[in-house]
Structure 1
Amino acid sequence: MDALRGRSVLVTGGSRGLGLLLARQCKARGCAVTVAARDGDELDRAVGLLGRGTPGAVTGRVCDVRDAEAVRTLVAGTAREQGGLDVVLANAGVIQVGPAEAAGPDAFRDAMETMFFGALHTSLAALPYLRDGEGRGRLALIGSVGGLIPVPHLVPYSCAKSAVAALAEGLRTEHAALGVSVTEVHPGLMRTGSHLRAEFAGDARREYGWFATLAGLPLLSMDAERAAERIVAAVERRRPRLVLTPAARLGARAHGLAPVLVSRADAGVARLLPDAPANGADGHRRRTGAEIDAGRGRWQRALSALNERAAGRFNETAGQGARSTR
């Protein structure tokens, strides 16, 4: 844990969910941490949560990572206030669930702008500072197993995360000789409570039902605090790549060895999921999980109980109309 002690850290998408837990792990290591997110009220709550119990300073900064100039201002201000910048964790994201046809082009555009271009803007703004740091900088881009294996009814998300994976690998090869480590992180399902912030298209209620249930099952999903600890440890050790959860590792390996077979299995899964509605553009309307949640049945709530508790602990429940950042 001494490798990061006293370092300056920036976490985008750091106001809740995985980003909040990454910031907490860095703060526990004695880092000066800046968390960035779009929603100022949510950010204030996050800073309050992070300010309890462990050493290290925490600063909140409002920033939309889709805006390259705003990201440059964020990075420069963080480096100025903290005497440099040593570690950057690019975590900001959105989750859209539903058939690609129902999601429509705006969902793909939103996913790419937030997750891919957000990671790109953050990386390009931060790399000059990371190269100049006396401790040799560390950059981590949070991808997903969905970027390694295209997932039915998560196609916008998978497209953006696959681009993040390519970006991380490309930046790692270009900066290996410059002293900057780049870690690509591909989590599987984690119990962060993000089902309440995800957006659902098509038959939104049924889409929400399967997603919220699977995201909270212990055998398929991972404890988010454990995931955050492993991610920060990987960044400390300058690991090039981390895939989290046994199911995600198995799926990624299977896809690498037999992509056609995995694609056929995915097609079988897709047949079990809700069909796209036949109402044209009206099907592109997206609803958040929080809007849908009130009508869930008792058995569905029981299956996702761990995820429901995580939502309350990781700042996912207040202001549920806001966008998802995992």
Structure 2
Amino acid sequence: MLKHLPAAESLAGLSAVVTGGSRGLGLLIAGELAGRGCAVTIAARDTDELERAASLLRMRGGGVRVETAVCDVSERGDVEALFAATARAQGGVDIVVANAGIIPVAPVDAIGADEFDETLRTIFGGALYTSLAALPHLRRSRAGGRLALIGSVGGLLAVPHLLPYSCAKSAVTALAEGLHAEEAGRGVSVTAVHPGLMRTGSHGQAQFGGDRSREFAWFSALAGTPLVSMDAERAASRIVAAVARRRPRVVLTPAAKAAGVLHGIAPVTVTRLSGLAARVLPDSADAEGGLVAGRDITERPKGFAGRLRAWGSALNDRAAARYNQHSPTARP
């Protein structure tokens, strides 16, 4: 039997804001919203990257309406200014997607508290500041406001070598679920989005520590493998459809769904399996210092790890070119 879903409402004419909207998944979500007739404001830190993104969106034709806003989501004042300015310019705010974030990849003994602090400040702090600044506007939306917080399968269970990321995304998960409950009586829907691996080209923007070249090899390979990762355009389409239908939660990719369900049923088993997975990941014996963006890692590991990188990252490399990922900055 097919599961009943609320009918999707038209989004035409609504005002939407996407943080981290200048590249990757955020850019694609902005494109989906614009394609449905929204006036979209994309926010990110880098002016040049924003202009390239706006040009890519406008090339779609069809009267796409897109504006740009420079904003660091880890700065509360920036976020408050973003929503005040957008509400004035667009006559209100109806849809908000909190997507901005960073991805540090390293074993925990190759990083420290600073990396956890920065990741929490950017991912969770960004989602929190965005939510708090957006909600007053969304409550006034005549269409009924919609808020989507982009979490991750890493927020449903801890992923080895992605601990700062998992901690931050876990906090986003709790925020989305709590806001959904509290805003239900105010006409604002809140959607928690938990993607698995996607081919967005993010491997070049992710930051790697420890044995950097090997960390980059496994991450880029998994993120680019079709049977494990998801086409980013399809993911963006499903996310916007879930927001339109006011779904409280969407988990993308079969692997992410299976991992989330299994962790809920047998958390001890999943924890033990994660321990086994961690043993085959690179250790920090050959640690090379601090975190470095994937695009700056030129050394290719020898043997299997090198072949893994060359094979698995091919699709992601092409995605990086399509989705504006070749940027000098390290985060949206």
Shorter-chain TM band? over 0.9
User: Which stretches in structure 2 are left out of the alignment for 5+ residues?
Assistant: 1-7
TM-score, normalised relative to structure 1: 0.95
Task: Please tell me whether residue 79 in structure 1 is matched to residue 87 in structure 2.
Answer: yes
Match of 1:120 in 2: 128
Match of 1:7 in 2: 14
Task: Please tell me whether residue 311 in structure 1 is matched to residue 308 in structure 2.
Answer: no
- Partner amino acid for 1:316? Q
SS at match of 1:33: strand
Do 1:28 and 1:55's aligned partners in 2 also have CA atoms closer than 8 Å? no
SS at match of 2:210: coil
- Partner amino acid for 1:159? C
1:200 and 1:323 map into 2 onto residues whose CA distance is 11
Q: Residues 118 and 299 of structure 1: is their aligned pair in 2 closer, same or farther, counting only changes over 3 Å?
A: closer
1:212 and 1:324 map into 2 onto residues whose CA distance is 17
Mapping 1:34-53, distance limit 5 Å = 34-53=41-60
Query: 1:115 deviation in Å?
Result: 0.5
Query: 1:3 deviation in Å?
Result: 1.8
Match of 2:5 in 1: none
- Partner amino acid for 1:268? L
Query: 1:104 deviation in Å?
Result: 1.2
- Partner amino acid for 2:102? V
Stretch deviating more after TM superposition (209-218 or 98-107): 98-107
Task: Please tell me whether residue 180 in structure 1 is matched to residue 188 in structure 2.
Answer: yes
1:76 and 1:216 map into 2 onto residues whose CA distance is 39
TM-score, normalised relative to structure 2: 0.94
Task: Please tell me whether residue 210 in structure 1 is matched to residue 215 in structure 2.
Answer: no
- Partner amino acid for 1:291? D
Mapping 1:42-191, distance limit 5 Å = 42-53=49-60, 54-191=62-199
* Structure 1 runs, 4 residues or longer, greater than 6 Å off: none
Query: 1:160 deviation in Å?
Result: 0.1
Q: What root-mean-square deviation, in Å, do the aligned CA atoms of Structure 1 and Structure 2 show?
A: 1.4
Match of 1:289 in 2: 294
2:190 and 2:12 map into 1 onto residues whose CA distance is 19
1:293 and 1:182 map into 2 onto residues whose CA distance is 41
1:177 and 1:103 map into 2 onto residues whose CA distance is 43
Query: 1:2 deviation in Å?
Result: 5.3
Do 1:143 and 1:161's aligned partners in 2 also have CA atoms closer than 8 Å? yes
- Partner amino acid for 1:276? S
User: Which stretches in structure 1 are left out of the alignment for 5+ residues?
Assistant: none
Give the fraction of aligned pairs with identical amino acids, expressed as a percent. 58
- Partner amino acid for 2:258? L
1:105 and 1:232 map into 2 onto residues whose CA distance is 35
2:283 and 2:33 map into 1 onto residues whose CA distance is 43
Count of paired positions: 320
Stretch deviating more after TM superposition (226-235 or 51-60): 51-60
1:277 and 1:29 map into 2 onto residues whose CA distance is 50
Among 28, 31, 45, the residue aligned to 1:24: 31
